[in-house]
Amino acid sequence: MEKAAWNHGLTFAAIGVIVATASSPATSELRVSGVQAGIGARHCQLSLKERAMQLNPYLFFAGQCEAAFKFYAQVLDGKITAMMPHRNSPAEAHVSADWVDKIMHARLEAGNIVLMGSDAPPGRQDPMKGFSVMLDVTDPADADRKFQALAEGGTVGMPIEKTFFAARFGMLVDRFGTPWMVHCAEAH
């Protein structure tokens, strides 16, 4: 019998099923199918709303973080949940006067996507390279719409099209320098 416990003391046991550890059972999403001990074959399901861990891109901009995040919120149908300039913060004393209104931290939520970023101070700005933000959508028309919006004013590396592995796939660098891959899987 395998067991997993949450830090709130809730324990779930099932034969042949390993349940992942979650930090907050009230806000985690976890579905488990297995066999309950002593009852026989039966589906057991736990529904929790938040993952125990989430990997989120953090993007650095050369002074255009606020404009980029407003654009991303529009394209991704998201909501900006944080937009903190240096002004009126302890960090204000450590930046030049022309940098106080630049963004120290921004956060965008769109569905289950979280995108974060800030403006890198002058002299600490590097071009974004060596990665792409992967946008995975379920509808081919939505993939095309989001790709075209992100590509406006940017550079298309691979036009969005049907491929051997996806209903739609394309690559671009947007007008803010962020590299993107837009993907829509084949319907099964």
Tokens found for residue 93: 């004393």
- pLDDT for 7 equals 32
Same fold, 55-126 and 128-188: yes
Indicate the domain borders of the chain. 2-41, 55-126, 128-188
Task: Indicate the pTM of the whole model.
Answer: 0.71
- pLDDT for 50 equals 55
The fold of the 55-126 domain, in CATH, is: 3.30.720
The fold of the 128-188 domain, in CATH, is: 3.30.720
- pLDDT for 27 equals 39
CA angle 68, 112, 73 (to 5 degrees): 20
Strand duo 79-85 + 133-137: pairing: unpaired
| Among the listed residues 123, 176, 129, the one whose alpha carbon sits nearest the alpha carbon of residue 154 | 176
- Please identify every stretch of the chain with a pLDDT value under 50, giving residue numbers as ranges: 1-48
